[in-house]
Copies of this chain bind each other. A is one copy, B any other.
């Protein structure tokens, strides 16, 4: 096949696998996946991204792996199992994107990674995982994390450890995989930008879909309208604001966030995921 040469050789190394799921940590699901992996590829370094994606929430799963994957070494295998369609016709996918590997159900959870890799001109190639030798001998209809995704990832890890990945052995190339419709920020002719709140993090910081690159200058030149609230203060770091003050900030994922110093902006403002916001350039100077 024409792509063997392309994906074939990697530097032999201790393989890294990451796990992103909605399984939680109360049940033995995640531990079981790690047991399956350890049985196939004992040298694998398995790292949890998060297992607290809200159940069945594909958008939050897509965000979690998107926030994390760039900080992992080349050839890392990212396994994402938010899988409400487990047991149905939806296919398990192996994707080569950039210099990383992704194993996930074909349900949109890779949308944001693929968008960025394509934007950067990186390689994107998806395959349907069909090789039964990369699955457990008996497969349930309800736990493919254990029966398909974990063993497939571990078999890929063995190939990475040896320095030769035979991606074509997993299954045939598929032209495209399902994409979530995630709203992009809208740039209006009056210079304003419309966005939406994507998630609230552990600290109550509200992440929006507006990226740093959407807002070329935040040095006091903007205000944010959201609900009945106006936010006129932009800061560079949390402690720059007074405790309890609500402000906007470019967060560590490169997204505009609404946040608070030593408090939860989400609790203090009642702003919820899905609410729309508008960035409006100032006519006159606002106090900063």
Q: Interface of A with B (CB < 8 Å)? A: 13-14, 16, 18, 20, 23-32, 34-36, 38-39, 42-43, 45, 47-52, 55-56, 64-65, 67-68, 71-73, 76, 84-88, 140-143, 146-147, 201-203, 236-240, 249, 251-252, 261-262
Contact = CB atoms under 8 A, between A and B. Distances in A.
A42 B27 CA distance: 27
B13 A42 contact: yes
Nearest to A85: B239
A88 B48 CA distance: 29
Contacts of A88: 237, 239-240
Given A67-B32, A142-B237, A237-B141, A27 B202 contact: yes
Given A86-B238, A236-B141, A25 B38 contact: no
Contact of A31 (B43, B47, B252): B47
A16 B29 CA distance: 17
Given A252-B146, A262-B84, A24 B73 contact: no
A45 B34 CA distance: 10
Contact of A35 (B13, B39, B68, B85): B68
Copies of this chain? 3
A49 B23 CA distance: 12
A237 B26 CA distance: 22
Given A35-B72, A38-B73, A237-B88, A27 B141 contact: no
B42 A28 contact: no
A56 B140 CA distance: 31
A240 B87 contact: yes
A202 B28 CA distance: 10
